[in-house]
Structure 1
Amino acid sequence: MHVQPYLFFEGRCEEALEFYRTRLGAEVTMLMRFKDSPVPTGNAEMCAGAEMSGPPPENNVMHAEFKIGDTTLLASDGMAKDAPVFRGFSLSLTAADEADAKRRFAALGEGGQVQMPLGPTFFSPCFGMVQDRFGVGWMVIVPGPKA
């Protein structure tokens, strides 16, 4: 069994992929646009029975896979109806050391919002929480006890 996060960016998927590529070194390993689908884009069956108000823009991302370090994430523009909403979870990024954590935290925070400043805690010498410009929550952590 394998569980992977699938993020719906509601029309901003390509922008998000580029953001993660430049900030975190993400590698896009697969990208399919709606225009590449063998199923007509107005067909609701294409999206597991989802009701569509009309065909999505043909250049929108239907499905993408990307890697950040050893982790593969999945992404899509989804139906691109509303702003993306990411609630009830955060992605946890383990940094090699405090300098790496600071760099990645700052990169993720560009255009986003710091929820908990990066600093020492009882469970880590360096931990913080930030929401990126797309609304995805990130927890950046250096493993190990507080020094």
Structure 2
Amino acid sequence: MYVQPYVFFNGRCEEALDYYCAKLGAEVTVKMRYKEAPPDAHNPPRPELAEKIMHANLKMGSTNWMASDGNCNPNEKMSGFSLSLTADDAASAKKYFDALADGGQVVMPLQPTFWSTGFGMLVDRFGLMWMVSEPDRPDSPPA
């Protein structure tokens, strides 16, 4: 198991990534915009998000972390981060998800996605946001 921070910049992700690369020597290893995601009839992105960053991986020294523009809600301040927990296998992912959901609130049930055989989001009983993933799909692009 490993845990990585996932930072939401509320519409300023590109600016933040550019800054961290320029000032801290970070390297963006993955950058995916909302317009690059497969269509989802149940959760279509707002048109104004097309050029915003849906997901990015950033390498800083020996640390890798993830970032996104998030929902770009002008009425919200930057909400900080989520912890992204990638389990070693599907059974462990379910165990961790269920344990963290106990007394918390599920935001997205643990379910298959286009990038993972299982992914879910929740806020634990302490108010901390978690994103739990099974190992990557064998056919998914490297993170």
1:57 paired with 2:52, answer no
1:135-146, aligned counterparts within 5 Å? none
The answer on whether the counterparts of 2:9 and 2:80 sit within 8 Å (CA) in structure 1 is no
The answer on whether the counterparts of 1:25 and 1:68 sit within 8 Å (CA) in structure 2 is yes
TM-score scaled by length of structure 1: 0.49
1:85 paired with 2:85, answer no
Match of 1:66 among 58, 69, 72: 58
**2:70 partner SS:** coil
Identity %: 46
**1:3 partner SS:** strand
User: Residue 76 of structure 1 aligns to which amino acid in structure 2?
Assistant: S
In 2 relative to 1, CA 17–43 (structure 1 residues): closer, same or farther, beyond 3 Å?
A: farther
The answer on whether the counterparts of 1:34 and 1:56 sit within 8 Å (CA) in structure 2 is no
The answer on whether the counterparts of 2:9 and 2:69 sit within 8 Å (CA) in structure 1 is yes
**1:78 partner SS:** coil
Q: CA offset at residue 56 of structure 1?
A: 4.7
| Large movers: runs of 4+ above 2 Å | none
Tell which structure's C-alpha radius of gyration is larger: 1
Tell me the equivalent position of 1:29: 29
Q: Per-residue displacement from partner, 1:4-44 (whole Å, max 9, x unpaired)?
A: 0000001000000001001100000000000001124x742
The root-mean-square deviation of aligned C-alpha atoms, in Å, is 2.3
In 2 relative to 1, CA 65–26 (structure 1 residues): closer, same or farther, beyond 3 Å?
A: same
**1:62 partner SS:** strand
Structure 1 alignment gaps of length 5 or more:
47-51, 88-147
The answer on whether the counterparts of 1:35 and 1:58 sit within 8 Å (CA) in structure 2 is yes
Higher relative contact order, chain-length normalized (CA < 8 Å, sep 6+): 2
C-alpha distance in structure 2 between counterparts of 1:16 and 1:67, whole Å? 13
Aligned length: 80
Tell me the equivalent position of 2:131: none
The answer on whether the counterparts of 1:56 and 1:80 sit within 8 Å (CA) in structure 2 is no
